[in-house]
Structures are given as structure tokens and as C-alpha cells.
Structure 1
Amino acid sequence: MSQSAAITQSTSTWNNKQCAVVLTYDDAIDVDLDNAIPALDSLKLRGTFYLIGSSPVVGRRLPEWRQAARRGHELGNHALMHPCDGSLPDRGFVTPDNDLSKYTLSRAVSEVLTMNTLLTAIDGKTARTFAYPCGDLQIGGVKFYDQLKNDFVAARGVTSILQTAAQVDLTNIDSYMINGQSGEYLIDLVKKAQQSRTVLVILFHGVGGGHSLNVDLKAHRQLLRYLKANEKDIWVAPMVEVAEKIKASQQGEAAKKPRG
């Protein structure tokens, strides 16, 4: 497919708008409920919140997560224990109990599926997306998500690239992780997505504090206001909805190809 054809296909995939923007928030922390969700709700925007089952904020504030889901936010799967590969550089924060490199494949898969059961108990939904803890894809050189493809619409990774619908890998959707960048930087990312007719996935942790990776409230608010002011040109939706559109688009294009 030519680049121009891919761009045309993407525009139709993004609900006939210039681009898609997905706002994702990781780790199930208090500021999700205290800062991020109220800011989104105030402008009638919806995001995806990747919950860790073992986070005390899940159990302690269960009714609030349920309300967020009712208002259209996606509760995504960020695994039961958030295991990360402790054998990689700069992974001193990984504890022996949550070291993905010491997991068996079956343990990793079963914990993710258990988390799906917990999320369904909260929001009653079965279609959702997964986010790789720490962006780690493999155990002993094997991609554990290969055994989970039928249980999710898609999975989010951590590589920072803008892609058309045709270019997206639904097993590892790219995202831009934010830590301290300005509102202007965030808005510029959106403008680049508009110009290139691509999908932009933004990965937040802390919003106004609450995490070592953080975006300040002003920058977050500036981004949301820009998205709202330009909603005729920008499709803002949870990851599961955008991924479902991409999947349908890719399947449609595949069906058009001659078989031989």
C-alpha cells in the first residue's frame, strides 16, 4: 500500500477525522481518580486506565473505578502483579517476587487472565486491551502475549512512533511515555498526528504527582483543552475502541488482497 493510500485509509478509520488520540494512564494510582478522571469528565473526554490488580487503590476505591467505567472510560489490564524483567539494566526497582525473568510462561499468562476476571467483575465488560508492564514482551525469548491474543483486542507497548492504521501492530501498539514534558510539547504531538493522519497514544503515570513519572496538572489541562477545542478534527477515544477500528480496517484491507 502506498503512503497516500495508507493515509486515506487511516482517515476513514479515525471516524473520518484527521487522527486518533488515545489517553492512557498506568498503574491504578490515587491521582487517576483524584485528578485525571475529573479533568477528562469535565470536558466529556474518555481515556484508558491500565489497572494493576495488586494495587491497593483498586480494592480501596472499587466503586469509583466502577463509576469511571460507566462513564465510558476503559479499565485496561496491566497484569495482576505488574511483573518486570529484573535482568535488564536499571531495573533495581524490580523485586524477586515480581521479576518477569523468573516467571514461567504459564504463570505470566494465568496472572493476566486472572486480572481480566477481576476487571470483568468491576465493569462487566469482556472486550479490553492489555499494557505490557515496563514494556517487557518476553520471558526467556518467548513473547507471552502470543498466548493471550484471543483474550484482548490489542496490547499497548512503549515505543514512541506515530503510525497509520495500516502500520499499527495490534500486539504492540506504540505510545509516547510522558515525564515532565510541557503542554506545548503534548499539543505539538497531537498536531503531528493530525498532519500525518496517524494514531497518537499518550502514556501517563502521575498527573499532578503521585508517581515518579509525572505530568503537571497545567500541562495535562492544556492538552485536554486543545483536544476538546479541535474535536471536529481529532477522534479521542479509549484504546479498546480505537484498536477495534484499526483491527476492522486491517482485516478489510487484507480481504481485498488477491489470493494466490
Structure 2
Amino acid sequence: MKFLLLALAIGLLATGAAPAQTSPAPNSWHNKQCAVVLTYDDAIDVDLDNVVPALDSAKLRGTFYLIGSSPVVTKRLPEWRAAAKRGHELGNHALFHPCDGSLPGRAFVTPDHDLHTYTLGRAVDEIRANNTLLTAIDGRTSRTFAYPCGDLQIGGVKFYDQLKNDFVAARGVAPGLQTVAQVDLSNVDAYSINGQNGQYLIDLVKQAQQSHTLLVFLFHGVGGGHSLNVALPAHRQLLRYLKAHEKDIWVAPMVEVAQQIKAVQMPGATKKQP
């Protein structure tokens, strides 16, 4: 009898279901395969001339990281406000876009806005001042930050540590696909795009779908307007793919995706309201 019971037990184990493959939590990406965030830096004319109309046409929403001192903010403020009303995020890219001029390849950095010579207090104050400006434009208080030039530190100190209560998250410049658990909301990975074709962009999305991860695109010029650029056809090809697969891909502004990640990583955490 003992042998019979043992045989039955072994048989049940042998026919049992295989261990489940690693997959995201049911609501990680709103029950979709992955999340994709489209971000556009520097507040340049092509954002309003090329990108916003393209996104609106596809009924997709993006995040625009605005430099508060950009003349394109000043001259076209009503258009930025209208874009925000249609669901696009106006993110913070600092008031003057200071970068560390002591690093290689930084000849473009001016003495007035060299992060290497900033004090921690000055950097924090300017970023908060830009938040005030953005709130005056869109009426929102929940938004995300993008590090100018991807620079994280002043004198070896991470300046964003003093700003974590001011933002939902901060976007970096290091490429990577990450699960909800892997995302560092103080330095979210992003793929910088410069000259790649549409198939490259789509292949990145497919990788995110297969790995159930977050994919953040970092664009500057779209169809011109910046030394870092993606061609209009390539950008259009990406949007068409995202729209055609919207049942499987969650496309949303960075602030919304970051809020979702925070809710999964820290259940019960208070969500900052718009």
C-alpha cells in the first residue's frame, strides 16, 4: 500500500504544471506586456511643430522636458499650455540646463551655467524655480525631472537627493530595459536616439514586450532642430507601431508610468495629486 501511495505521489509530481515563467505583476503595466515612454528634451520648436501634432494624430501622449529659460517656452507658452491640456506632460529640465563643463566633450558649456561651479543650493533653487514656472503653465504639481546632460552630481553629491519630494521620478540617460522591481525612480534608464532608423526603434519596443519591461525613449530633434536628431519617417514608423499594438503596449507620460511603478514598489505610498 505504501508503495502504491508513493507511486501515485510521484505520478502527480511528474504530471504537475511546469513552474510559471517570470512575468510582471498583473497590474505592473496596466495588464499590458510593457510600458513605453516617449520623452523629448530641451523645449525646441520641433516639439510643437512636429512632435505634438504627430502624437495627437495617433492619440498618444508624451513627456516634454522643458528648459525654463528657452525662448521657445517664452514665445510659445500658449501652445505648451494647450499641449498639457491634451494630456502631454511638461517635465522639468532645469531653468538653465546646466552641465558639468569639466567633463570631456563639454566645450559647449558656458561659464554661467557650468554645473561644476554650481553650489548644491543654486542647482536645487533653479530646478524648483522651473517647477514654479511649469505649474504656472499647466496648473500641475506632479511631474518628473530629467538630468541635463545626464549629470547627477555636484562635488560628488547627488543633487537630486534634495529634490525627491518635489518630483515623482527623474529620468537619466543610461540605456536599459527594466522590470518594475528594477527601476530606480531617481535615475530611470532611457535610450538616447540619434540617427537610428525606424526598425531600430521598433525592435527596442519588441524587446520590451518580450521581457515585460519599461522602455523610455529620449529624443531631441525630430525632423531637425537639434544636432541630436531622429528623422521624421523613423519617428512616424515608431508611432504607427505603438498605435497598432496599443492593446499590448502601455504608452503614457513619464509621470503616470512613474506613479504606477511607485505604487507597485511601495504599496500604500501616498500618491501626489496633479
TM-score (norm 2): 0.90
Distance 1:245 1:132 in 2: 21
Quote the residue 2:7 is aligned against. none
**Which runs of 4 or more aligned residues in structure 1 lie more than 3 Å from their structure 2 counterparts after TM superposition?**
none
Quote the residue 2:218 is aligned against. 203
Residue 119 of structure 1, aligned match among 121, 134, 138:
134
Residue 70 of structure 2, aligned match among 34, 52, 55:
55
Residue 254 of structure 2, aligned match among 233, 239, 247:
239
Residues 112-161 of structure 1, C-alpha deviations (whole Å, 9 max, x = no match)? 00000000000000000000000000000000000000000000000101
Alignment of 1:1-260 (within 5 A): 4-5=21-22, 7-9=23-25, 12-252=27-267
Identity of paired residues, percent? 78
- Between Structure 1 and Structure 2, whose CA radius of gyration is higher? 2
Paired residue type of 2:201: L
Distance 2:127 2:268 in 1: 31
**What secondary structure, in the 3-state scheme, does the structure 1 residue paired with 2:179 have?**
coil
**What secondary structure, in the 3-state scheme, does the structure 1 residue paired with 2:24 have?**
helix
Distance 1:165 1:17 in 2: 13
C-alpha displacement at 1:252, in angstroms?
2.6
Report if the CA contact (8 A) 2:101-2:107 is conserved. yes
Distance 1:200 1:155 in 2: 14
**What secondary structure, in the 3-state scheme, does the structure 1 residue paired with 2:90 have?**
strand
Distance 2:182 2:85 in 1: 32
Q: Structure 1: give runs of 5+ residues left out of the alignment.
A: 255-260
Paired residue type of 1:212: S
C-alpha displacement at 1:253, in angstroms?
9.8
Residues 87-119 of structure 1, C-alpha deviations (whole Å, 9 max, x = no match)? 001100101011000000000000000000000
**What secondary structure, in the 3-state scheme, does the structure 1 residue paired with 2:165 have?**
helix
C-alpha displacement at 1:4, in angstroms?
4.9
TM-score (norm 1): 0.94
Quote the residue 2:12 is aligned against. none
Report if the CA contact (8 A) 2:36-2:205 is conserved. yes
Distance 1:71 1:147 in 2: 31
